[in-house]
Structure 1
């Protein structure tokens, strides 16, 4: 029986994924509700499949994918998230994920993704769909977002949710000073004037 790790901070979501995977003849050997535990469980158990959200506490999902990939494990990663594929699917692919499924999709799509990645095939939104999802976004702002690092993008998303430096630092395991530095850098890179403007930018571009 193949083994799987589920990473999501919502118990009901984890339960739904577990039921689905068990129907596909997977043994769910562990669950994690945060990024730190996810990396630890992946290192300890080396599951064949990891199904994970991006929006998790204590290490952003993109950072988790990067760290698990760096461990050199054979685990296949499928991202199941509410985040828009317009800005996140390619980043997940570059970080090491093999699949990307929206939480708004039917469960059948997650099944297809799981089957695909276990055959060592990728499963991502079609490029033409990706383009249609992003065509409402100002092109210059879209390019600015593409030029942000994964960590900058994560912090921008947390700013848009109204989180303070202390909250962001605890979520991402950074110091308050480092978060402040990233805020200043974001204001500069996006040619904005304030933290309020950063939040408006993120909301306008549907980054949350």
Structure 2
């Protein structure tokens, strides 16, 4: 029997994905709403396919992907998320994901992606060349984002959403000092000197 694990913190999304999986003849379907729950279920049940959102509470989807693949290198991971593939698809490919589907697409794309992965193929969207995608300013900002680590990007998103260092530290299971260090490093890497500008940067690049 084909088995799958859905990782998304929205029950309505999980229900929709479950219907797609059932239509694809998956009979054992587990659900998780956080990275920690997903890792626990993955270790216990070894699903053949994991459908993973990138926007998760606590440890984000990119780190969850790394841990899932470290735990079970043979597992097929399909990213199903609202995050812009222009900034996240390459990271997910490098992290070991076999497919990426944006939630803005019709569910038919999710069907096709599942079929491709279960047949041993990858499923990624063709993206515009970043070097020709927009203005010189936007190109340079895209390059700056590409240079961030997954954890730096996750902290950038949370800071841009107005979360305080203490709250980020709690959700990511880090020390307050560690988050503060990441924040300082981010500001330096991006050439930004305030959280207001950090939020503007994130919004301008569709990170929030």
CA contact (8 A) 2:49 2:76 kept: yes
Q: CA deviation at 1:132?
A: 9.8
SS in 2 for 1:122: coil
Q: CA deviation at 1:22?
A: 0.6
SS in 1 for 2:77: strand
Task: Give the Cα separation in 2 of the matches to 1:15 and 1:132.
Answer: 39
Equivalent residues in 2 for 1:23-62 (5 A)? 23-62=23-62
Residue 200 of structure 1 is matched in structure 2 by: 200
CA contact (8 A) 2:79 2:97 kept: yes
TM-score, scaled to structure 2: 0.94
- When structure 1 is superposed on structure 2, of 89-98 and 192-201 the one drifting more is 192-201
Q: Which runs of 5+ in 1 are unaligned?
A: none
Residue 112 of structure 1 is matched in structure 2 by: 112
**Once superposed, which parts of structure 1, at least 4 consecutive aligned residues long, lie more than 4 Å away?**
130-134
Aligned length: 207
Q: CA deviation at 1:181?
A: 0.7
Equivalent residues in 2 for 1:1-208 (5 A)? 1-128=1-128, 131=130, 134-135=133-134, 138-208=138-208
Shift in CA distance, 9/200, structure 1 to aligned 2, threshold 3 Å:
same
Task: Give the Cα separation in 2 of the matches to 1:108 and 1:172.
Answer: 34
CA contact (8 A) 1:82 1:102 kept: yes
What is the RMSD computed on CA atoms of the aligned residues?
1.7
